[in-house]
Amino acid sequence: MRRSSLLDHLPTSLALALLIAGLLALSACGSRNIAGSNVVITPPPQTQALNKPLCPAPNERALSASDVTQIITQAVTRAAALNLRATIAVTDREANVLAVFRMTGANPSTFIPGGPLGGRAIPSELAAISKAGTCAFFGTTGNAFTPRTASFIIQEHFPPGVSFTRGGPLFGVQFSSLLFSDINPRLPLGLAADAGGVPLYIGDSPVGGIGVELDGNYSLDPDPTDNDQAPEELIAVAGSRGFEAPAGIRGNQVLVDGIALRFLNAPPPVAEPPVNLAAQGAFMVIPAFGTQATPKAGVPFLGPGSQFACGTLGGRAVRIFTPLANITPSAQLSVAEVERLLSQAIQQAYSTRAGIRLPLNNFAEVNVAVVDASGNLLGLRGTPDAPLFGLDVCVQKARSAAFMSNPNAGAILNAAGLGAYVSRAAADGIQLNGSVAFSCRGLGDLHRPFFPDGIDCTGSSPCAPNAPGPLSNASRLFTATNVWSPFNTGLQLDLIAGSLADILANYANPGSVPVIRRPPSNIRNGLQIFAGGVPIYKNGVLVGAVGVSGDGIDQDDIIASFGSAGFESPANIRSDQLIVRGTRLAFVKFPANPNL
């Protein structure tokens, strides 16, 4: 549920007039000239933003094999001093796994609490890899986040534990970059929210991450106020000594809605006499991740061997994901139209004040995807320093908006054995038949464990006890101890649970997962249920969607919205025209004073 505003209490015609006037004013402030379907965006001078010119990036650094050995040794030394036995992974910035070390006697498995995967034994190396990769994927020159940061922004409330607040801004992001994705399959368990990972930097350049697993419980921190010092985090921090993230860009320096995020609950690392690694355990040889009996060197980002290259689009520097570099046409969108959609979004990103980058007055760094109505990827571009987690997520957002707006969405879900969600939506007056243009923000509303989002359901509240959104779980009691599990989001997880379970059981050969267990092709890398994706139309007919990910969700929304200019959803069918249980759904939300 979006926050109430004056528009909610005005007659529809007057509210629409005021909204149009406000959008025109916003357009004028951003120097945008809109005439018919031709959109000319005049970006502000680059001198107004503080972002460093990173494309091409001179002198990009990468972890050497000796760096990786040092990091592992420091972590193992701390674990041994604590009389603990851990599994430790190190990745480079692109989440290539450089080494996994298992100490003798370390727990070989970890467990997910609650949800369809609850109680399933997961190899501990997969948890360590996901934690390290999460830190790498979140790291940029403008922000450095950890799994503890992720835990703070994906829970049922933001901040966690505070009743009657909305869900975390990135609720659902954990199910991305999974090994069955067709975009950037890197993280066995998706983005981690279980403390025990730290980003790695050389100077102010992000170069990777370290992840640690030992306690057998892969979850999150339900109470960020207790200042718990997780042993896994203490060990990861020790490993990062000499490769720490710059203090000025750490997650605890970033404010979201005036609330400081979390970074670590651990003291700074100190020097310790190093142990003999050979006496403590061994490096794991894992063919699926290319690890060896000795550490490997990392790949220099945007350098030789990188999956990314520099280019330009609409006169702006962009980052290209080389495995998916081509911009392709479909029956619904030409190459020129796809380029226009991408360019409009990139131009808006350069104009938009970042919400989570430091220092202040940087432009938003994001990834942008365009798909057709069937979810086929037509184009993918990003700004030079956009966080890599957003690569898969922006495609998920685009596919999610296109899929939920598709006339066949309900039929596809029924065929996939998920008709219960279709029925629950129908009971709330939501027909998944193309009659509603769903944004990812609107879709996210329906997935929240409380509906309306932010209104805790109790016996005395207006809603039924524990009432979830129609696409959320059937019950809010997520585990036996009523602790929320990140592996229990409803339709989002149920769409991919079979593939994820099979991958986890057979990760050495992910190609062996039966096709029948894969998600529907329209959303082949899974749904995404937080803001930043909008469907696009031509002459009232759905032709695809634009997805954006990498900054604050309101920034993602405005960039996706201006990216879609000339292909906007018909106003009368947008999700914010739908009333569910007396609550208006959302469509998009723009940040205050958005432009530099």
pLDDT of residue 505: 84
Q: Are residues 120 and 266 in the same domain?
A: yes
Residue 39 has which token pair? 């959109």
Say yes or no: 134 and 194 in one domain.
Answer: yes
In DSSP notation, 62-102 reads ---HHHHHHHHHHHHHHHHHTT---EEEEEETT--EEEEEE
pTM of the entire predicted model: 0.90
Specify whether 47 is located in the same domain as 74: no
- Determine the pLDDT at residue 506: 83
User: Are residues 116 and 236 located together in one domain of the fold?
Assistant: yes
Q: Which of 289, 322, 348 is the last residue of a domain?
A: 289
* Partners of residue 87 on adjacent β-strands: 102, 213
314 with 457, same domain: the answer is no
Would residue 479 count as lying in a domain?
A: yes
Q: Is residue 549 a part of any domain in this protein? A: yes
How many domains does the chain divide into? 3
Decide if 584 is inside a domain: no
Residues 518 and 535 in one domain: no
Q: Tell me: do 369 and 481 sit in the same domain.
A: no
Tokens at residue 188, please?
């066995």
Q: What are the structure tokens assigned to 244, written together?
A: 């720490």
Q: Walk along the chain (596 residues) and give the pLDDT tens digit of each residue.
A: 333 333 333 333 334 333 333 433 333 333 333 223 333 334 444 445 777 766 766 567 899 999 999 999 999 999 999 999 999 999 999 999 999 999 999 999 999 887 788 888 999 999 999 999 999 999 999 999 999 999 999 998 999 989 899 999 999 999 999 999 999 999 999 999 999 999 999 999 999 999 999 999 999 998 999 989 999 999 999 999 999 999 999 999 999 999 999 999 999 999 999 999 999 999 999 999 999 999 999 999 998 899 999 999 999 999 999 999 999 999 999 999 999 999 999 999 999 999 999 999 999 999 999 999 999 999 999 999 999 999 999 999 999 999 999 999 999 999 999 999 999 999 999 999 999 999 999 999 999 988 899 888 765 555 555 578 999 976 544 444 455 567 789 999 999 998 888 888 888 776 666 666 689 999 999 999 999 999 999 999 999 999 999 999 999 999 999 999 999 999 999 999 999 999 999 999 999 999 99
Is the domain of 279 the same as that of 385? no
Distance CA 302, CA 320 (A): 10
**In 3-state terms, the chain is what percent helix, strand and coil (to 5)?**
30, 15, 50
Tell me if 403 is assigned to some domain. no
Q: What is the pLDDT of residue 336?
A: 98
CA distance linking residue 318 with residue 393, whole number of Å: 18
Give the pLDDT score at 58. Answer: 57
N residues, the chain? 596
Residues 264 and 329 grouped into a single domain: no
Q: Are residues 33 and 119 in the same domain?
A: no
Q: Give domain status of residue 574, yes or no.
A: no
What is the number of alpha carbons within 13 Å of residue 227 lying toward its C-beta? 2
Looking at the structure, tell me whether residues 122 and 251 fall in a common domain: yes
Helix (H) or strand (E) holding 533: strand 533-538
374 and 442 together in one domain: no
pLDDT attached to residue 359: 92
CATH number at residue 331: 3.30.450.150
SS3 463: coil
Range of the domain at 418: 409-523
- Residue 592: inside a domain: no
Domain boundary residue, one of 289, 321, 344 = 289
Q: Is residue 213 part of a domain?
A: yes
| 261 neighbors 72 (Cβ within 8 angstroms) | no
Q: Flag whether 402 is in a domain.
A: no
